Structure formats: structure tokens, C-alpha cells
Amino acid sequence: MDFSFTTKEEEFRHELRTWLEENLPEGWLDGTSKVSKNEGEYAIFLRNWQRKLYEGGWAAIAWPEKYGGREATLMEEIVYQQEMVRVKAPALVNYVGIHMVAPTLMQIGTEEQKSKYIQKILTGEEVWCQGYSEPNAGSDLSAIQTSAVKDGDRWIINGQKVWTSFGHLADRCFLLARTNRFDKKHKGITVFLLDMNQPGVETRPIIQMDGQHDFNEVYLNDAIAYDAEIVGEVDEGWKVTIALLMHERTGIGGQVFTLEQQFNELVSLTKELKEDDQPLMANPLVRKEMIDLYTRTRGSLLNYYRNLTKTLKNGHPGAEGSMDKLMVSELTKELLSQSISLQGHQGVLWKEDAITANSYWQDNYLYSFGQTIGGGTSEIQKNTIGERILGLPKDMGR
């Protein structure tokens, strides 16, 4: 494998790096930014940031040019992820829309749907969420019970969704509902492009253990969707669901590079924190832990590059993405746990009491548990690896 980048790719990196230096919020790079954490104000800030990305041509680089993208190569996408991680760029508020919904509409949607939704997704004018999981249908999406009943040219939708990321900010929802009941659970599901700003949709916050509000419960009480808002065919939504999930699981690269960056920051922490007037890194037990984490962090990166090489040869991602997802999410949680342990009793302090700026390690440690769930739990990833890579028999419980 050749890990070097071509001259063209390095020119692409320089162009992006220059743009970021000129357009990131004031004080962002030196840590003096005064971005408000008030939920309403922060939501406006994130929408404005996406609008700036769009105006600079950086909101959706992999999209076709006719939709406002750059038709970036896979390697240019890797460069993009590396640079965004390097500067800890603001979150993409319309991540679901840009990386999942729009690519699925380009692949399966009608011309009317492409014309109506894709441009607004790119600009951030319409934020999207994903209505998949339900209280009794998480990893097993085929068990959904939310129903849609036809009434003329419209559908009456009732049910509940949970763990809906950015649902409180969303204008539209890529929603799964059961429109028929067949012997096979995967049949009879339809995908709707639901308007979230209607009386029949109620969003309730789920406050995470890190105090943040990213997830929501969504209650649907006679919510309305129309025939024109169906993606694909009625009762054949499982094919659409799989198409969207394939787009969702191609974003692991950013997590790999974030893990690498967090390891380097952890090494710096061991040099800053002291025990008996000596840096923690002087302790041989700490050095042993750092060597172990380095070996596995580096291994996860090289494994990602190996799978990336296969994708470049085949032209499409394979089941190996589950290996990357499993390794990175579990190792991230372990690395961040180690960061808390290294701080000793002070590791349990949070917010303004934390010894590190803005409780960076505490916030990320609490958030890391969700990374082993979102995008497919670690258990589901192990099943995929066992069945599709190792050739083991299918899980008898499914």
C-alpha cells in the first residue's frame, strides 16, 4: 500500500486548508472563539456555518457537479476529513441530509423529489433527520410498527420514533412506516419524506448523560404525508433503507482520524499532568499503556487504509466497513476512559471544575458510549463480520 498523496491531492489539501483559515469563526483555531452554547443560538450558528461551506463549495464535495458538488475522488474525501478533524471544524448540522438523504434521492428519488429537496439540503435551508429506530425496533429495523394508512393521495401516519438525531432542528424526516403486513417482516415497509413542521408531529428531547441534546423521541399522531413524498415503491422501502444505510456507513474515515488526533492529545496530557513533581509519562506503567494504545490506534488506521485500498480497486465499499466501525468506536471509548483514569480523582470533575479546558476529556468520554451504538451497534457489526467476512453461520436469533 502507498500511503502518500499525489501532487493533485496535496494541492486540494492546500486549497481547503487556506479556505478554512480564512473562513472558520473568529478565534476558532486558537481556542478563543465565543460561540454561544445556547441551543437556539447554536443551531443558527451551525446553519450559518453550513451556508458558508455551501458558498465556498465545501458542503458536499463528493456530490456530482450538477447538484452543487465537486465530484471529489475518494482520496480527496479522505483529505477533506483529515483537514476537518485537524481544525475540529464545527459540526455539520445537516449531516443526515448531505451524507444520507440526498445521495439516496440521487440514486432512487424521482426528478420532482431531486428538484424539490436536494438544493435546500445543500444550503442548509432544510435540515433533515432520520426516522428509523423505534422503542422495540432498534437494530432490527424490520420490526417497526409505525403505520401509514392510505387516504386518497395522502397517508395518515401514527407511531413513535426514538433516538432521532437533530429531530428538534429538522424540517424534514426520512421516515420508515409499515404500509402492509406480510409474512416477511422486510416486506410492507415504505419510505416517506415527512414534513416535521405539522401539527401531527411532536418532538420530545432526550438529554444525554453528557448534558447535551442531540437525540429525540418523535410522536406521530395522524401526521400527513403524500404520494409524491414516497421514495421508491410502496411496500418496497427495505431496498431504500439499505441504500441509505450504505451511505451512512461510508463516513467512518472521520472517526479514524479523530481517534488518531485524540491519541496524540492524550500523549500531550500525560506530559502535562504530574505525579510527585514528575510528568505522568515518566511512569513506566503509563508509558506501557500509551504504547498499547498507540499500537492499536495505528493498527486501526492501517486497517482502514487496507479496506480503503480494496474499495478503490472494487469501486464500492464492502462489509469491511464493519471492521473499521467496530475497532474505532470501541477503541475510542477505551482511550477516553484512560484519559479519565490518568487524571485521578480530578477526572470525575466536569465543566468549569475540570482541570482540562472545557472538560474536553469528560465530555468526549461520556459521548463515546453512543458511538458504539449509532450507525449499528458493536454486536451488529460483529454479526456482519462473522457472516459476511468470516463466512460463519447466520445468527440463529434473527
Active site residue 248: yes
Instruction: Look up the pTM and report it.
Output: 0.88
Query: Which of 229, 248, 260, 289 is an active site residue?
Result: 248
Instruction: Provide the pLDDT for residue 398.
Output: 52
Q: What is the pLDDT of residues 347-394, one digit of tens each?
A: 888 887 877 767 899 999 999 998 898 777 899 889 989 998 999 998
> Can you list the domains of the chain with their CATH numbers?
7-93 (1.10.540.10), 128-241 (2.40.110.10), 249-389 (1.20.140.10)
Calculate the average pLDDT of the chain. 91
pLDDT over 90 for what percent of the chain?
A: 67
Q: What is the mean pLDDT of residues 309-321?
A: 78
Q: What is the mean pLDDT of residues 185-214?
A: 93
- Helix H or strand E segment including 130: strand 128-131
What letter represents residue 181's amino acid? R
Distance CA(60)–CA(103), nearest Å, equals: 10
Helices (H), 25-181: 39-56, 74-86, 95-96, 102-108, 111-123
All three cell numbers of 222: 395522524
Distance CA(123)–CA(111), nearest Å, equals: 19
Q: What is the pLDDT of residues 2-52, one digit of tens each?
A: 668 999 999 999 999 999 999 999 999 888 888 887 888 888 999 999 999
Q: What is the pLDDT of residues 151-191, one digit of tens each?
A: 999 999 999 999 999 899 999 999 999 999 876 778 899 99
